[in-house]
Homo-oligomer: A and B are copies of this chain.
Amino acid sequence: MLSERRLEVLRAIVQDYVGTEEPVGSKALTERHRLGVSPATVRNDMAALEEEGYIAQPHTSAGRIPTDKGYRLFVDKLAAVKPMTPPERRAIQNFLEGAVDLDDVVGRTVRLLAQLTRQVAVVQYPSLTRSTVRHVELLSLAPARVMLVLITDTGRVEQRMIDCHAPFGETSLADLRARLNSRVAGRRFADVPQLVEDLPEAFDVEDRGSVTTVLSALLETLVEEREERLMIGGTANLTRFGHDFPLVIRPVLEALEEQVVLLKLLGEAKDSGMTVRIGHENAHEGLSSTSVVSVGYGSGGEAVAKLGVVGPTRMDYPGTMGAVRAVARYVGQILAES
């Protein structure tokens, strides 16, 4: 176990390094922080911290920088989430309040988060399976062509074109629509599969095939990776990454373009509470020099989706966590209102 002061030294190193982006030495530390001990003592502590793997030096005779493990300790034990100031809160609220629909909410959230944290923002649309069905609509576009529209209580709308093999009569369609809605409206999407299981049996044999096709299309929209959508923004902030650009930035941009990767990233995070994944803790290789701060958000007590930011491991964790948490909170409120 590390002594109190050594933890303090680690905290000081993290803070200074995050601020200056340069390896920090023992002398500079004692000057900028009131540690109450001499540089020599700090050096001893640093040697110990390095021994334990919390910090490292890029070259001999350079200062120390925190390792992933060091950041981890910092986040877990040494950092308090920095709450937003009242004016910041008001700004967040104002910015989000003008949104007219879900796309707008998500879009504004992304921009807001990117701006607040000066990092890349990622916002997931409310998950279908965790939402409640508000309405299911079936539109006949052609004799054997039906459009399925799902509407959730979170304002999300998904549509899907369905090709039936046989023509599907207008009255049968209306019948299916009515039955479907009476069964699933107000229920959770996750329960839909069971709720509609025996629905085909209520129909004439001739329509049963089409009904099954429609239902399976409905179920298909609920499977993972099809039902998840997200939006990202603030990629321009990647340019603040460091000096050794292309090598670092490229894999990050590539990862960010792969929705699958991002979804997996957010999926790995805890469902409740804030999750911070630091450097190599991220499974994806291209993101090994980034940290991901994410949190669930939702209209009620339960999270319907996640949002977060991706930035260099050398980031202002307290500030970022504060911003992420605050934004998630307000987005939840907005969602609840609509």
Residues of chain A touching chain B, judged by Cβ–Cβ distance below 8 Å, are 100-101, 134-135, 137, 139, 141, 147, 149, 151, 155, 157, 159-161, 233-236, 238-240, 245-246, 249-250, 253-254, 257
A111's nearest neighbour on chain B, judged by CB, is: B257
A32 shortest CB reach to chain B, Å? 27
- B151 with A147: CB separation less than 8 A: yes
Across the A-B interface, the 3 shortest Cβ-Cβ residue pairs: A236-B253, A239-B250, A236-B254
Which residues of chain B are within 8 angstroms of A101 by Cβ–Cβ distance? Answer: 160-161
Whether A249 contacts B239 by the Cβ 8 Å rule is yes
A303 to B259, CA, bound (A): 30
Contact A253 B238 (CB under 8 A): yes
| Residue in B134, B141, B155, B233 whose CB lies within 8 Å of A151 | B141
Quickly give the copy total for this chain.
Answer: 2
Are A257 and B234 also in contact (CB < 8 A) when A134-B141, A149-B149 are? yes
Contact between chains at B245 and A257 (CB < 8 Å): no
Interchain CB contact (< 8 A) of A139 among B151, B240, B245 = B151
A151 contacts which chain B residues (CB < 8 A)?
A: 139, 141, 147
A325 and B134 alpha carbons, distance in the complex (Å): 43
A253 near B233: Cβ-Cβ < 8 Å = no
Residues of B within 8 A of A155 (CB): 161
A-B contact list, 29 entries, CB within 8 Å: A100-B161, A101-B160, A134-B141, A135-B141, A135-B147, A137-B137, A137-B149, A139-B149, A139-B151, A141-B151, A147-B151, A147-B157, A149-B149, A155-B161, A159-B159, A233-B257, A235-B235, A235-B253, A235-B257, A236-B253, A236-B254, A236-B257, A238-B253, A239-B245, A239-B246, A239-B249, A239-B250, A239-B253, A245-B245
Give Cα distance in the complex from A137 to B157, angstroms.
14
Q: How far is the CA of A240 from the CA of B234 in the complex (A)?
A: 20
Name the CB-closest residue of B to A142: B134
B161 touches A159 (CB 8 A): no
Interchain nearest-CB distance for A125 vs B (Å)? 13
Please indicate the chain B residues that have their CB under 8 angstroms from the CB of A233 in the complex.
257
Q: Other than the known A137-B137, A137-B139, A236-B254, what 6 A-B pairs have Cβ atoms closer than 8 Å?
A: A149-B149, A235-B253, A236-B257, A239-B249, A245-B245, A245-B246
Q: How far is the CB of A43 from chain B (nearest CB, A)?
A: 35
Q: Which of A137, A155, A236, A240 is most buried by chain B, counting CB atoms within 10 A of its CB?
A: A236
A238 nearest in chain B by CB position: B253
Residues of B within 8 A of A139 (CB): 135, 137, 149, 151
A257 CB contacts on chain B under 8 angstroms: 233-236
How distant is A285 from chain B, measured CB to nearest CB, in Å? 14
